[in-house]
Chains A and B, each alone.
Chain A
Amino acid sequence: MNFLNGALALGVLTALVPLVIHLFNRSRFKVIKWGATHLLESVLRKNRKQIQLEQWIILIIRCLIPALLALALARLVVMDWNSFLFFLLLPLAALIFLIMVAFARKTRLLWGLLCIACLLGTALGALGLLPQWGKEKKLTAASGDVPASTVILLDDSLSMNAVESFSKAQSFIAGFLGNMHQQSETSIIQLGGTPMPIFEKPTSDSHALGSRTENLDAESDRISLLAGMDQAVSISAEAKNLKREIILLSDFRKQDWQNWDIAATQSLRERLLALPSNPAFTWIDLGKGAKKNLTVESLVLSSHTVGVDHPVGIRVTVRNFSEESFEGNLQVRLFADLNETAIDEAVLSVGPNASAQVGFTHRFKTAGPKVLHAEIQVTDDFPEDNRRSVAINVIEQINVLIVDGDPSQEWLRGETDFIKLALTPFEESEPKNTGTKLVQMKDLIQADIVSIDQIDTKKFLDEYSLVVLANLEKLTTKKAKEIEIFAENGGGVLICSGNRMELNWYNEVWGPKGNSFLPMPISGTKGNPLNELSFSRISSSYFDHPALSMFNDPRNGSLAEAQIKRWILLDESTTRKDPSVTILARLNNSRPILTEKKFGKGVVMLWGTSIDTDWTNLPAKPSYLPFVQQLASYLSEKVLPPRTIDAGRTINHYVTEADQDSTFMLKLPDGTVRKLTPFERKDRYVLEFMDTRLPGVYEMKNEKNIVAKFVVMASLSESDLEKAQEEQIISTAKSLSDQITRIDGTDGEGWKSYLEMDAERKFGRETWQILLLVVIGLIFAEIVLLRKFGRIAR
């Protein structure tokens, strides 16, 4: 016996209520001193036992009604005839015989004996002393005749393409759906990437499920077994049928099973045990151990943003997962934008279970979003991973004007030497590499350094998109005005602090009393650059500003490693409510160090310490170059969210204010098109797309042309087709549930094996209809008996 709503079974305790009421009434009797005892006594003498019997019957019926109702609501399920007989039929028969005892005076002995026999049968049956002759006679026939609630976990990761595992899975599902009971409900969860059910709720529409499954392709990222299992258990918990099953169709690769979390399994097991009806697990292995597989492991670009006609370095890593060795005969080809003509190719050697690299250089002739693909030309068991792609944004050149407030003739002593070096690394390093010039690399940024006197304001708007004011003492009113106009018209201004700055001038002309050009007024300076022991650091929090977001990835270095010995004090109290002002970074002492302000169409950024090594050692740290490059790109409005992402991550794309009302289309790798509309987040308009479970190229278009291309990468683990260890699967299975059946479906006969296995299983029957009928019968019986029982013998 079992319950589908186990908690409601506690309602059986309501049977105590009539009993308590009865006892309560008995304990509160009246006392009457009675004279006509001789009239009462004869009645009592003749009827005492009868009255007691009748009261017992009524009490039993009253207790049974709520108890059986609770069992009906708890959806009691009996698994075999024995329990049905012992716990329902015999007690009810005993009750009926007891009622007969009350009515049939002459034959009451017979009925009494029958009643006792029934109760004895129940007691002996409960103790297991009676022969289990009903045990083998299940209440239901083969489990195929029982409506079932099934959750199919379908591994649709890329690796399922190897040795036709996925088509085997599809044929299994087709067989399963074709054989589905009319009242069965089935849910199919695609395990790849983020597990997602095909339909939101379990359905009994096998045709709809079938046609959806037929059109599926195994092109998702690595499966999340535990998350999928978790979803399946949740769906199973709310299933309407007693027969519940979770079928896992997968290739059982080592990669999928190695991250099996014991704690999560334990909690999953506890949830399973708490269910009224445990789902049975069936694991069907569809993957044959593939022998030969090679993959493009990585495709790394020297820069993700590249100027037109600038060379971009491409490094391709090829991994060999097989025992076969390639000696100079593995061809690697490079494609651009799905053009079937290779733009470059190379051959390389790679040993068994080893990897090898090859480099390419390419120059794009036109600006715009591009995708590069690298492909190995080899026939293996898993051809889907022989190509890897990467997105690249090709742009025109960025021109930066650096105004040096503290020039020096000595190398790296001037205020702007470090920033120039970081902005144009190739140009600066060229003279020193003249002898060993391997690849001619061109900088994306073109930087010009001028002194304060050389500022030719008329050239600003024409040639530069960013002006860096490095440690300027002050500007003439006219030049200050022109820089404001430059920013207002969409230019970027980066003000870097230093010892020469005349703070009063900055506060008066550009502070709140002037025209508020600075993000925040400067209240002074702090720190001593000569003291080696006293310094602060940039707080290493999560940066949500696009200019610094790359430092959220520790591989790009950390700003917090630099010591900042002196800084200007920025007074954030006055601008706290100004929405145009943003604090990008703070020091450990919570002082703002990098702030920006929207000024007209442009942006003004204030860097609170020196841009050279006077006040900080940041320029000597690896993070300095990406830092200034990012700031420069951002201020020139060239910073873009990453375009090559892992499967499951969100695609982000910034659009201009002018495009905020337009609609964008995103073409997915499987050819479907999704409509996207921009929304405002903070101060910019963003397009967002989260459902990136399919690896491949995503194209974003507006009405006219392609505005961006994104590459979603399948995780590398998909290429490793090594099977999971048998012992690991067995131990995992044991830790999860005791009812796991494993079927080997590698020969394509998975469905047949499943049918054979399923034919052996038996499932119980729900009894709520019967119980409800019994309850109604009892209510009726109580009414009738109450009327009949008044007429007792005199």
Chain B
Amino acid sequence: MAAVTDYLDPKDLSRLANHQVLAKRVVEGFCSGLHRSPHKGFSVEFKQHRPYTQGDEIRRIDWKVFAKSDRFYVREYEEETNLRCHLLLDASGSMAYGEDKETESLSKLEYASRLAACLAYLSLRQTDSVGLTTFDSQIRSQVPPRGGASHTRQIIDLLGSTSTGEETDLGKVFHEIAPRLKKRGLVVIISDCFGDVPQILKGLAHFNHAKHDVVIFQIWDRDELEFPFRSWTRFDCLENLGLKHTVDPAHLRDAYLENLREYREELVKGCHRHRVQLFPMTTDEPYSVGLASFLAARSKAGVPVHL
């Protein structure tokens, strides 16, 4: 059984405790801007309009109604249940990168697991319900969304038992997962998004179609972004064990980086098109820092953040 502290570092927890506002913002961010009306509950379901009164936030004014009636109305939402947060954790082979490295930085999967744990922790603290699905080329295991502090235990157990698996096929997996998410909610995909970009985008479109709010934390290792290798190297594929290339990396670097740039550009554009928020993170940065900046940007703009 995995220890909670393996995934939620006391340091990070204390950091979160010290940043209560930040934690709240997490909730705000997840709950699509209902922070200031706790009695209305955290909901994404519309209920009614009510006339604007002094003290209401300007941004909550429904400008379409104003345009029709020339009066200020504020949108109110139905108080329903808590936000459902679906964490989708990619446990494919490529997420294992960084395991063998001699530095103290985490592998991509470890990093992603900690990130997932942190998000779950934050959500559960806000009394939201959180579910976790791990997958590679198919769904590996699933914890249905549920609330309550004890649910952390379940999530962390699943994270602890997750190890990297086979090849990824994100598009296919997304199509598998989307029908299973019965109610609309926040879908947080933690993955490196390696694969065929159009397929991935199709999968994302499925989520979009089901009106889920989708956020992708794209996990990078610094090596993958900079390709810093110099001497002769054999690259063994993590997903397809038979695939090995012995090359002079210095020779390939420019082409690789160019390829990388194109891939990222395509992905970013696709995400933008499907209104998916894509937030890249590198394993050499503390995830709490990355998360904080992501939340800050999200709360300010209210729109997907692209770095």
Q: Do A and B bind each other?
A: yes
User: Which residues does A use to contact B, with CB under 8 Å?
Assistant: 25-26, 28-44, 47, 51, 54-55, 789-794
0/1 per residue, B5-35, Cβ < 8 Å to A? 0000000000000000000000000000000
0/1 per residue, B249-286, Cβ < 8 Å to A? 01111111011101100000000000000000000000
Instruction: Identify which of A30, A39, A790 contacts B232 (C-beta below 8 A).
Output: A30
Residues on B with C-beta less than 8 A from A43 are 252, 255-256, 259
0/1 per residue, B76-105, Cβ < 8 Å to A? 000000000000000001111101100000
Instruction: Identify which of A25, A35, A793 contacts B94 (C-beta below 8 A).
Output: A35
A39 touching B263 in the complex, CB below 8 Å, given contacts A47-B252, A791-B254: yes
Residues on B with C-beta less than 8 A from A33 are 96-97, 99-100, 236-238
Instruction: Identify which of B95, B231, B235 contacts A34 (C-beta below 8 A).
Output: B235
- With A33-B236, A34-B235, A792-B251 known, 7 other A-B pairs at CB within 8 A are A25-B231, A35-B108, A36-B94, A36-B192, A38-B195, A40-B245, A792-B255
Indicate whether B157 reaches chain A with its CB closer than 8 angstroms: no
Closest 10 CB pairs between A and B? A35-B94, A35-B97, A29-B232, A34-B235, A37-B237, A43-B255, A30-B233, A36-B224, A31-B234, A794-B255
Residues on B with C-beta less than 8 A from A37 are 94, 235, 237-240, 243
Cα separation A12 to B17 with both chains bound (whole Å)? 73
User: Which residues does B use to contact A, with CB under 8 Å?
Assistant: 93-97, 99-100, 108, 192, 194-195, 221, 224, 229, 231-240, 243, 245-248, 250-256, 258-260, 262-263
CB-defined A-B contacts under 8 Å, sample of 25: A28-B232, A29-B232, A29-B233, A29-B234, A30-B231, A32-B100, A33-B237, A34-B97, A34-B235, A35-B95, A35-B108, A36-B192, A37-B238, A37-B240, A39-B256, A39-B263, A40-B256, A42-B259, A43-B256, A51-B247, A54-B251, A55-B248, A792-B254, A792-B255, A793-B255
Cα separation A794 to B258 with both chains bound (whole Å)? 8
A790 touching B253 in the complex, CB below 8 Å, given contacts A31-B233, A37-B240, A38-B195: yes
Instruction: Identify which of A30, A35, A51 contacts B221 (C-beta below 8 A).
Output: A35
Q: In this complex, what residue of B is CB-closest to A24?
A: B232
Q: Are B229 and A32 in contact (CB under 8 A)?
A: yes
How far does the Cβ of B231 sit from chain A's closest Cβ, in whole Å?
A: 6
Q: Please classify the interface of chain B as helix (H, G, I), strand (E, B), loop, or mixed, using the class held by over half of its residues.
A: mixed
Residues on A with C-beta less than 8 A from B231 are 25, 28-30
Q: Are A35 and B192 in contact (CB under 8 A)?
A: yes
Cα separation A38 to B238 with both chains bound (whole Å)? 11
Q: Are A789 and B251 in contact (CB under 8 A)?
A: yes
Cα separation A41 to B195 with both chains bound (whole Å)? 12
How far does the Cβ of A26 sit from chain B's closest Cβ, in whole Å?
A: 6
Residues on A with C-beta less than 8 A from B247 are 44, 51
A51 touching B251 in the complex, CB below 8 Å, given contacts A32-B233, A35-B239, A794-B258: yes
A51 touching B248 in the complex, CB below 8 Å, given contacts A35-B192, A792-B255: yes
Q: Are B251 and A790 in contact (CB under 8 A)?
A: yes
Cα separation A377 to B284 with both chains bound (whole Å)? 119
Cα separation A41 to B260 with both chains bound (whole Å)? 12
Q: Are B194 and A36 in contact (CB under 8 A)?
A: yes
How far does the Cβ of A33 sit from chain B's closest Cβ, in whole Å?
A: 5
A31 touching B255 in the complex, CB below 8 Å, given contacts A25-B231, A44-B245: no
Q: In this complex, what residue of B is CB-closest to A792?
A: B255
Q: Are A47 and B234 in contact (CB under 8 A)?
A: no
Q: In this complex, what residue of A is CB-closest to B195?
A: A38
Q: Are B238 and A34 in contact (CB under 8 A)?
A: yes
Residues on A with C-beta less than 8 A from B259 are 39, 42-43, 794
Cα separation A37 to B96 with both chains bound (whole Å)? 13
Residues on A with C-beta less than 8 A from B95 are 35
Residues on B with C-beta less than 8 A from A40 are 235, 245, 252, 256
How far does the Cβ of B212 sit from chain A's closest Cβ, in whole Å?
A: 26
Cα separation A54 to B250 with both chains bound (whole Å)? 13
